[in-house]
Structure 1
Amino acid sequence: MSRGPGRVLAGRFLQFWLIQLCAQVGAKVALLFLPLLAIRGYGVSPAVLGFLNALQYFPVLAVALLFGAAFDRWNRRTCFVAAYLGNSAALLLVPLYGDGRHRVLLLVGVCTAMGCLVAFADMCAQTVPPDLVPADQLVAANGRLEFVYSLCLVGAPGAAGLLYDRFGSGPGLTVVSALCCAAGVLSLGLRLSRRAGPEPGARPRVWAATVSGMRFLLRHPVLRVTTVQAGLFNFLEQAVMTVYLLLAVRLWGLSPGSVGMTITVGGAGTVLGAVVAAGRGGRMSAVRALVLGMGLASLTPMLLVFAGGSRPILITMASATFMIYGFGLTLYNVHAVSLRQMLTPPERLGSVSAAYRFLAFGPIGLGALLGGWAGGFLGLRASLTVFVALLAVAFAVFAVSALRLRATIAAVLPEGRGTGPDGVANDSAEPVRTSPANPS
C-alpha cells in the first residue's frame, strides 16, 4: 500500500528535500545579492551589471546541451556534493579578496562559476525524485519540491536585500556560502541508485538527445508557439529586470532591502497564482489560461514605466506590478508545463526538457546583456519603455497564435486537466528561476 501524500516528506526524499531547501535558498539569495553588491558596493556601470547578470544565466546553454543526458550514467551524489561545495567556495572568495583592484574581475569569475554549478545541480535534481518515491507519489513529491522553489521566490529577494542592508557584503555572503555548504554536506549521505550506463563499445553523445528534443519542440505547432514565447518573454523580462534594478537604486533612491522587498511581493503573487490554478484556474480552458496568464505577465510591467511620486508610492507600485506579474506567469506555467508533458512521448521527456531549458532559459543571459547596454546607451527610463513595449508586442503575437490553435490545445488539455491532485502540474517544474519567475 502506498503512503498518502502527506507522508511523502520522509526517509530519503526528506533528506533530498532539505538539500534542495538549503541549495535553492542559497542560490536564489546570491542571484540578487551579487548584482546589489555590484551596484552599491562597486558602483559598476549599467553595461557591466548586465554582463554580470548574464554570467549567472548563460551557462544553462552549455549545461543543457552537454549534460542533458549524462546524469543517467554519472554518480549524481558526487555531482551534488561538487556543485554545492563549489558554490560555497566561490562565494567565500568575494569577502576574502573582494576589496582589491581587480574586485570586478573577481565578481565576474564568481558569477560565471555559480552560473555553471547552479545550472548543473538543478538539471541533476530533475532526475532524482523518481528514484526516491513510488510512481503514485511522484506528483505529491514534486509538489513538495515546488513549495521549496515558491518559498525561494517569495523570500530570497527580500532576504538578499535585508542581508546587504543589515550585515554588508562580507558577512552576508558568508551566510549564503554556509547554506550552500550545508547542502553539500547533506548530499554526502544521499543514497541514489546507479543507473545503467551505455552499452559496451557505444560512443556516448550527450548532446544528441538535446538536439533531437529541439527538433521535436520546434516541429510541433503547439509546443513551438509556447517555446518561442517563453524564450522571447525570458529575454525581454530579464532586460526589464536589469534596468529595474538600476532605476530603483539610482533614480528612485530605494535601498537594497526595499528593492528586494518589491520583488519578494512578486513571489507572493506566484504562490497566489498556484492556488488559483489549482482551484478555479484548474477548471479554466487551457487557451484562456495561457492567454490570460501571459497577458498579465507581459502587460503589467507597463506600471513601472509610469511609476512616480514619493518613495512609498514607488515601492507600492513596483510591488503591485510584480505581484500581478507573478500571478499571471504562474497561471500560464501550470498549463504550459501540462501541455508539454501530454504532447511529449514518455520516452522523450528527458531530452525534450533539456532542449526546452536550452531554448527558453538560454536567452535570459542575452536579455541581461541587452538591458545593461541599453540602460547606459539610451538611458534607464527610455530603455525600460522600449523593453516593456516589446513585451506587449510579443504577447499580442502569442495570443493570436494560441487562439488559432484553440481546437488542437483543447483536444490535448481539456477543461479541468491543468493540474494534478495537489494542484501541481503533472510534471516536475524547472527550478531555475530569475527575478519572480520564468515560464516553465
Structure 2
Amino acid sequence: MTSSLRHHGGFRLLWAGDTIAQFGTAIASVVLPLLAVGALNATPGQMGVLVAAETAAFLLIGLPAGAWVDRVRRRPLMIRMDLVRTALLLSIPVAGWTGVLTFTQLVVVALLVGTCTVFFDVAYQSYLPALVGREHLMEGNAKLQASQSVAIFAGPALGGGLTTLIGAASTLASTGLGYLASALCLSRIPLQEPMPRRLPDRNLRAEVAEGLRFVVSDRRLRAITGCTASWNLFFGVQGAVSILFMVRVVGLSEAAVGVVLGFVGLGGIAGAALSARVIRVLGHARAIWLVPVIGSAFGLLIPVAGPDWRLGLLVVGQVVLGSSIVVYNVAQVSYRQAICPDHLLGRMNASIRFLVWGTQPLGALAGGALGTAIGIHPTLWIAVVGPFAACLWVVCSPLRTEGEITVPSSNPGGTDQREMTEGGEERAADQA
C-alpha cells in the first residue's frame, strides 16, 4: 500500500471529514440507547425499536440511494447531510435540558440521522474517484475503510466514556458539533466538482436492477452478501439487548459499561492496524471465510460473563470478535472492488449495502421481541450462536478453494481522472 495520498490536500480533508462523521454516527449509536435506558427507563421492546430506527434507512432507501447520489454533486450533498445531522442531534439535549424529551423524539431523530448517514456514506465513496483518480482509488478506499472500522468499534467506547463524564445529553451535543466540523472540512476541499452528466434515457429502476443482478449472479459476491447480512441480523439482535445485559444482568454501572466498550474499541483499532498483514498472510479469499469463523468462536464467551472474574470473558469475546469483523470487512471490500467492473462499482456496493445493512433493524426488532418474551440472557445466546450459521455462506462457497487475487490499481474500463472531472459519471465502492 503506497502512502501517496498522505500528501493529497483534498483527500486529507475528505478523510478528516469522513472520519469525524463516522465517529459521530458510532457515538450516537450507543449514547441514544444509554439515554433511553437511563433517562427514560426504556423496556427491551422499546430498545429494539430504537436500535432498529438507527439503521432502518439502509432497508428503506439503501437500494436506490446509489443511483440517486450519482445524479447530484456529491460534496454539497455531504455537507447538507452533516448540517441536518447537527440540527437533529442538538434537538435532543435541548429537549432534555428543558424537560420535554420523549422516547418518540429519540426514535424520530435516530431514523432521520440514519437517513442522512445513508446518503453521506454513498456520496463520499462516489466522490472519491473524481478527487484522487482511479490509480489511487484502492488506497483511498482502504484508508476510509480503516477509519470507518475504527469508528464502529472505538466510537461506542468513546460515547460510553463521555456519557460517564458529561452525561448523555451533553455527549449528543458534542457529537452534533462534530458533524459541523465535518461539514467545515468538506467545504474546504479545493476541487470544483462538476455536475454529473444527465443522460436522457436514464431509468432509476433499470440502474438499480442492473446492480442487483450483478451481485446475485456472482456466487462469490452472493456468499459475501449472505454472510454479512446474516451477521448483521444477529448483531441487530445483540444490539437490542447487549447494554441491558451489561447493566441489568452483569450489574455494571454506566462507567463500567464505558470501560468495557473501551476495550472493544481497542480491539477494533487492533484489527484495523493488523488487517493488511493478516490478509497478506492468509490471502483475501481465505481471510473472508476463516477470520469470521474464529471471531464467532470467541463471541460465545460473551453470554458467559458475570460480575466476577467472568467479566474478563466478556472483554475477550468482544475484543476478538470486533477485531475479526474489521479484518473481514477490509478483506471482503477489497475483494469485491477487485472483481467488479468499474461501471458497476457504485451500484454493486449500494445493492450490497441495502442487503447487508437492511437486516440489522430487523434483527433489532427481533431482539427486542425475544428479550421481552424469553429474557435478555437467552436472547444474547441466540445472538452469538447465530453468526456460526452465517459463516456457512462463505465456508461453503468457491472462496474456500480460491487462490489469491490481484487488486488492480488502474481502471480496467479505460476511464481516467480527466474524463471523470470533465463530467463523466463516477462510480465508486461503498463500504459494507
Shift in alpha-carbon separation, 1:147–1:281, aligned structure 2, 3 A: closer
Off by >6 Å, runs of 4+ in structure 1: none
What displacement does 1:193 show?
1.5
Contact 2:149 2:326 in 1 (8 A): no
Q: CA RMSD in A?
A: 2.5
**Residue in structure 2 matched with residue 437 of structure 1 by the alignment:** none
Question: Cα deviation per residue 1:78-119 (whole Å; 9 max; x = unaligned)?
Answer: 212221111111111111223656611111111111111111
What displacement does 1:131 show?
1.6
Number of residues paired by the alignment?
412
Question: Cα deviation per residue 1:295-316 (whole Å; 9 max; x = unaligned)?
Answer: 1232222111222242xx3542
For 1:36 and 1:428, how far apart are their aligned partners in 2?
35
State the one-letter code of the partner of 2:50. Answer: L
What displacement does 1:11 show?
2.1
**Residue in structure 2 matched with residue 176 of structure 1 by the alignment:** 175
Shift in alpha-carbon separation, 1:429–1:302, aligned structure 2, 3 A: farther
Contact 1:335 1:418 in 2 (8 A): no
Contact 1:63 1:120 in 2 (8 A): no
Shift in alpha-carbon separation, 1:16–1:31, aligned structure 2, 3 A: same
Identity of aligned residues (%): 27
Which is worse superposed, 353-362 or 301-310?
301-310
**Residue in structure 2 matched with residue 342 of structure 1 by the alignment:** 338
Which is worse superposed, 98-107 or 292-301?
98-107
**Residue in structure 1 matched with residue 393 of structure 2 by the alignment:** 398
Contact 1:38 1:44 in 2 (8 A): yes
State the one-letter code of the partner of 1:224. Answer: R
What displacement does 1:350 show?
1.1
What displacement does 1:280 show?
4.6
Alignment of 1:166 with 2:162, yes or no, is no
**Residue in structure 1 matched with residue 351 of structure 2 by the alignment:** 355
What displacement does 1:325 show?
0.6
Shift in alpha-carbon separation, 1:287–1:260, aligned structure 2, 3 A: same
For 2:244 and 2:140, how far apart are their aligned partners in 1?
38
**Residue in structure 2 matched with residue 424 of structure 1 by the alignment:** none
- Return the match for 1:325 from 317, 321, 329: 321
**Residue in structure 2 matched with residue 216 of structure 1 by the alignment:** 214
What displacement does 1:356 show?
0.4
State the one-letter code of the partner of 1:246. Answer: L
For 2:370 and 2:52, how far apart are their aligned partners in 1?
14
**Residue in structure 1 matched with residue 421 of structure 2 by the alignment:** none
Shift in alpha-carbon separation, 1:246–1:280, aligned structure 2, 3 A: closer
**Residue in structure 2 matched with residue 78 of structure 1 by the alignment:** 76
**Residue in structure 1 matched with residue 141 of structure 2 by the alignment:** 142
Alignment of 1:120 with 2:99, yes or no, is no
Alignment of 1:365 with 2:361, yes or no, is yes
Question: Is the partner of 1:8 in helix, strand or coil?
Answer: helix
State the one-letter code of the partner of 1:111. Answer: A
State the one-letter code of the partner of 2:221. Answer: L
Query: TM-score normalized by structure 1?
Result: 0.86
Shift in alpha-carbon separation, 1:291–1:262, aligned structure 2, 3 A: same
For 2:89 and 2:275, how far apart are their aligned partners in 1?
37
Consecutive unaligned residues of structure 2, counting only runs of 5 or more, are: 410-426
**Residue in structure 2 matched with residue 239 of structure 1 by the alignment:** 237
